[in-house]
Amino acid sequence: MNHSEHYTEKLDIFIHLDEVNGQQYAYLSIRPNSRISDPDVPAVKDEILDKMKQMIADSRIVHGLPDESELKAHINRYLEGYRKQGGYRNYFTIPLASPTLPQKGDDSFLEELIDLELKPGKITNEKTGKIDFHDLGFSDKLVKKDSDIAILTHATAGVDGTTIYGDPIPAEPGKEVVKLAYDRKSVYAEELPEKNQTILKALITGFLYHDTDKGFFIDPDVLVSQVDFSTGNIAIKEFSQVATAIKVEGSNNILQDTVKPGFTLMAKEITVNGNVGRGAVLEGENIKISGIVDPGARIIGTHIAINKVVGAFIEGDDIQINSVIENATISGRLITVNTCITSTMTGTEVIIQEAMHAGTVTAGSFIYCHGVFGSGKSTLSIDPMALPAWRQQEKEIETEMKKLSARIDYFTPQLTKKLYLRSQLEKEITHLIQTIEQQKNTKLTDQQKAAIMQMIAHGRLDELRERLQISITAITVKRLKTYHDLAREIDELKNTATALAGDFTTLKQNLIELKLSYQRGLIIVNDAGSGESQIGFASFSRPPAAVSQTTLFTFHRKKQKITAQAAPFTWRPEEEQTTSLSPRALKIINRFAATEKT
């Protein structure tokens, strides 16, 4: 632009400031007394732009300014209005500069990763909307070691602002409004400086709680006064891998249920001081119940100790119960009860320490009953195959036998076929021996023929030709090599068939012994009392019309019959008992034998 020429007669531009909330904002205005001779001349825009730039430079404003294109756009709007209004217009004002306001820092906040609030129920079917009101989500509070519990994001410093003159505006920092409290014996903190966070993690496996004073803490045990709709189910499905315990304090009031009907408890250790209601389910490794287990309840565990079972289902490994009545079902390995009334018990060893009244006992190897009483009939029998574990073992053996039988059926035709091919090729060997005899003009002995057969079987044809100095045709060589390969394959098949047959025979014998294992059982009835008893071994039973006082019933393995011995008892394991018994059973047998001798 030629600055010697001016197209603006008068250009009255000024910058003024406005303060808002303590911060200055700049505006640029063109007064109405400004005069432009020809607003359509392009050079006018440059004159106005240069004037604006100079004023901005003089004002020392350096921050929040528009760029040159924005200034040109404002100038175009000004000139357009100037033309329309015939050279007259009001103040033309544009925002010139604004400060960058500071950003306040964020306050600290805590994100809880585990919901500790109990729910009104759990939806079990999304389609029907069915809700299990027994499940309030208590089990969701279980946390495993080193798992995240909560994340504390610390307060931030904020971001400083800038005035229009380039000076900093300090930001207000955030506040640490969250006080992180936790039990250092069960919870630990991990700092993440790069994320400005602290993560709370589980130091142990257990249930997570939050206390106003104590903060977050974990307890491997659950202690409640009772299990009802205030707690819901407490179920640790992987209890074998989690060392947790549930302790229900309850009460000794026999009229109240400590575990209310229909609720579920699952944990490694379960202790209930009181009763278990109808339809309740308890599952764990060690279960102790001081009260009554009501009808329809299910108790499943490894070691179980119960005061009284009424019509419930109990399944475990080592079960000890004071009294079992009213159609209860007990299933386990070692079962010990004081009294049994109209109930069913099935186990490897069953011991009734006081009395049996009209019940059924089936054991795999040993039954001891102190006395049989009442008007109903009691049945005591040795039948290992009545036990699920034995039936499973039988099923596994039979399945393995079927697999072996199928493999034998697969190899047998192959062996038969190869034996036939070998017999055909043996004719070629006979012809070769005849050829050797003709070429050598001699009669080979049986020993020489056997040596030749052995060399052929081992594939030593070149050695045979060299030693005997004979010629063998190519077709004969090919057939003899085939014979050699067949001999090797036949040996391998025979070895496989022999091994399979041996395995099959072993399994068959195991199955026979398994099915006849009842012969190694032992039943002791110490006192017949007033009751009628049926003594049996598997499908074979011989019910005495009356049971004499201190009569020992055993199954004599050699004689294959039940013997009722009134004479002093002598323990002969090689004849009457070869099954491995528990120390508990052996103690009873020895005590009984000592009583008989005296």
Walk along the chain (598 residues) and give the pLDDT tens digit of each residue. Answer: 444 455 566 788 999 999 999 999 999 998 888 788 777 788 888 888 999 999 999 999 999 999 999 999 998 888 888 777 765 566 788 999 999 999 999 999 999 998 888 777 676 666 766 767 677 777 778 888 999 999 999 999 999 999 999 999 999 999 999 989 999 999 999 999 999 999 999 999 888 988 888 899 999 888 888 998 888 888 887 777 788 889 998 876 777 889 999 999 999 999 999 999 999 999 999 999 999 999 999 999 999 999 999 999 999 999 999 999 889 999 999 999 999 999 999 999 999 999 888 889 998 888 888 888 877 788 888 888 888 888 888 889 889 989 888 888 888 888 888 888 878 777 777 777 787 777 777 888 888 878 877 777 677 777 777 777 777 767 777 777 777 777 788 888 888 888 888 888 898 888 887 777 666 677 777 665 666 666 665 544 433 322 222 334 444 334 444 444 433 334 444 334 434 667 777 777 666 555 544 4
pLDDT reported for residue 372: 83
- Asked whether residue 175 is assigned to any structural domain, the reply reads yes
User: For 441-473, where are the alpha helices, taking DSSP H only?
Assistant: 446-457, 461-468
pLDDT reported for residue 529: 62
Q: Are residues 273 and 160 in the same domain?
A: no
Domain end point (choices 517, 534, 567):
517
Q: Are residues 139 and 154 in the same domain?
A: yes
Q: What is the CA radius of gyration of the chain?
A: 49
Structure tokens that stand for 5 in this block:
């020429």
Q: CA–CA separation, 413 vs 410, rounded Å?
A: 7
- DSSP letter for each residue of 234-291: EE-TTGGGS--EEEE---S-TTSEEE-TT-EEEEEEEEESSEE-TT-EEEEEEEEEEE
Q: Are residues 227 and 214 in the same domain?
A: no
- Asked whether residue 540 is assigned to any structural domain, the reply reads no
- Asked whether residue 90 is assigned to any structural domain, the reply reads yes
DSSP 103: B
Q: Are residues 399 and 486 in the same domain?
A: yes
Domain end point (choices 42, 68, 97):
97
Q: CA–CA separation, 215 vs 213, rounded Å?
A: 6
- Asked whether residue 591 is assigned to any structural domain, the reply reads no
Please give the backbone phi and psi of residue 195, each rounded to the nearest 5 degrees, phi first: -110, 0
- Asked whether residue 46 is assigned to any structural domain, the reply reads yes
Q: Are residues 213 and 225 in the same domain?
A: no
- Asked whether residue 574 is assigned to any structural domain, the reply reads no
- Asked whether residue 480 is assigned to any structural domain, the reply reads yes
pLDDT reported for residue 98: 95
pLDDT reported for residue 377: 80
Q: Are residues 39 and 131 in the same domain?
A: no
pLDDT reported for residue 564: 43
Taking Cα atoms as reference points, which of 495, 504, 536, 500 lies closest to residue 519?
536
Q: pTM of this prediction? A: 0.62
Q: Are residues 422 and 475 in the same domain?
A: yes
Q: Cα angle vertex 143, ends 141, 149, to 5°?
A: 90
Which residue type occupies 158?
Answer: G
DSSP 524: E
- Asked whether residue 548 is assigned to any structural domain, the reply reads no
- Domains held by the chain: number: 4
pLDDT reported for residue 4: 45
Q: Are residues 425 and 484 in the same domain?
A: yes
Range of the domain at 187: 109-218
Taking Cα atoms as reference points, which of 287, 338, 150 lies closest to residue 276?
287
Domain end point (choices 97, 130, 147):
97
Q: Are residues 147 and 263 in the same domain?
A: no
Q: Are residues 473 and 501 in the same domain?
A: yes
Spell out a b/e string for 230-269, using b for 16 or more CB atoms within 10 Å of the CB, else e.
Answer: ebbbbbbeebeebebbbbbebeeeeeebbbbebbbbbbbb
Q: Are residues 255 and 186 in the same domain?
A: no
Q: Are residues 399 and 512 in the same domain?
A: yes
Q: Are 548 and 535 in contact (CB under 8 A)?
A: no
